[in-house]
Amino acid sequence: MTTATEPAAASADVLSVRQLHAGHGGLTVVRDVDLTVRPGEIVALLGPNGAGKTTILKTIAGLLPAIQGKILVMGERPSVRRPHLAARRGLAYIPDDRCLFASLTTLQNLRLAARRTRSDVDSVFAYLPELEPLAKREAGLLSGGEQQMLAIARALVQKPKLLMIDEMSMGLAPVIVERLLAVTRQVADELKISVLIVEQHVRLALGIADSAYVISHGTQTMHGSAQEVAGQIEAIEASYLGDANDRRPGNPGDGG
Ligand SMILES: Nc1ncnc2c1ncn2[C@@H]1O[C@H](COP(=O)(O)OP(=O)(O)OP(=O)(O)O)[C@@H](O)[C@H]1O
Ligand SMILES: [Mg+2]
């Protein structure tokens, strides 16, 4: 386990983030973040609400400019506000709102995503057979769990090298979350896809991840193997509760 600065990036790393400062509209919300994702590895990015997890993913995806620091995705810097270039290099990003085309069917969503790679849409049904009977149903009519499966399937047909998933469990029952995490582990192992996953179900995420980083108030507070971080799980969960308490109106720690 380490809280110190990581060594320089190895060229084979799928993702290397060094001393990243990121934020919105000139306001820095994330400071000095280091992250490494190696081939075939699942890395969990954990932390309480508002810690800066989504900000980090968006900056890696090139949807936000980095304020300071260095990001290399498959050895190249993200092209800010040109996310199609990131996709071409092998980055797939599933945002927390899933971003499906609600009026298109499951199959149409998949075919649209598969256009660039010309991949076989049916091949993803091997990993997510639940979607096959839903092929002709509009994405907007699918349940939350089914929509998240479609979001994962849509990312997979893009044949990514690095898959970033933000809060795939939002609003879903733990049993569905477990299923989705198991699929994530399976595709990482069988398709050699590296995964950076943001997940509120900390214990479930650590159960399938190889390593984990904990972010709190925009800075990195913990990093280690999933096993090492799981050994600190009570401290992590307490920090989540601490943050919630800090935000209660009238609490002395409430900065507004
Ligand atoms: N578009 C924006 N403009 C200004 N501030 C923003 C914007 N998006 C996020 N922030 C702020 O940046 C900080 C980090 O937010 P972020 O969404 O990255 O946190 P998070 O860790 O993903 O939280 P959650 O677990 O709730 O999704 C928060 O204080 C938030 O209010
Ligand atoms: Mg978020």
pLDDT score, position 244: 53
pLDDT at 166 (0 to 100): 96
Residue linked to tokens 């997890």: 53
Nearest residue to 243 via CA among 208, 215, 207:
215
Question: pLDDT tens digits, residue range 63-72?
Answer: 999 999 999 9
Determine if ligand 1 sits within 6 Å of the CB of residue 170.
no
Q: Is the CB of 20 under 6 A from ligand 1?
A: no
Nearest to 105 by CA among 75, 70, 132: 132
pLDDT at 118: 83
What does the alpha-carbon distance between residue 246 and residue 256 come to, in Å, rounded to a whole number? 10
Strands 42-46 and 211-216: parallel
Per-residue pLDDT tens for 140-149?
999 999 999 9
Listed by start position, the domains of the chain span 15-100+160-245
Q: What is the pLDDT averaged over residues 228-240? A: 87
Ligand nearest to the CA of 95: 2
Q: What pLDDT was estimated at residue 8?
A: 53
**Pocket of ligand 1 contains residue 45 by CB under 6 Å:** no
| 57, two tokens | 């993913």
Closest C-alpha residue for ligand 1 atom 4:
24
CB 37 within 8 A of CB 232: no
Atom of ligand 1 nearest to the CA of 30: 14
Single-letter code of the amino acid located at 238: A
Q: For a pLDDT cut of 70, what percent of the chain falls above it?
A: 89
Per residue in 171-180, pLDDT (tens digit) is 899 999 999 9
Q: Is the pLDDT of residue 20 over 90?
A: yes
Structure tokens belonging to residue 112 = 């649209």
pLDDT at position 250 is 37
Point out the ligand 1 atom lying closest to the alpha carbon of residue 52.
18
Q: Is the pLDDT of residue 248 over 70?
A: no
Question: 117 near 87, Cβ under 8 Å?
Answer: no
| Tens-place pLDDT, residues 47-100 | 999 999 999 999 999 999 999 999 999 999 988 877 778 888 899 999 988 889
| Averaged pLDDT of the chain | 88
- Any idea which fold 15-100+160-245 has? Rossmann fold (3.40.50)
CA of 105 to the centre of ligand 1 (A): 31
Ligand 1 pocket: which of 20, 21, 24, 246 to mutate (most atoms within 8 A of CB)? 24
Instruction: Tell me how many degrees the CA angle 33-21-201 measures, rounded to the nearest 5.
Output: 45
pLDDT at residue 3 is higher than 50: no
> Which is the closest atom of ligand 1 to the Cα of 200?
25
Nearest to 210 by CA among 42, 47, 46: 42
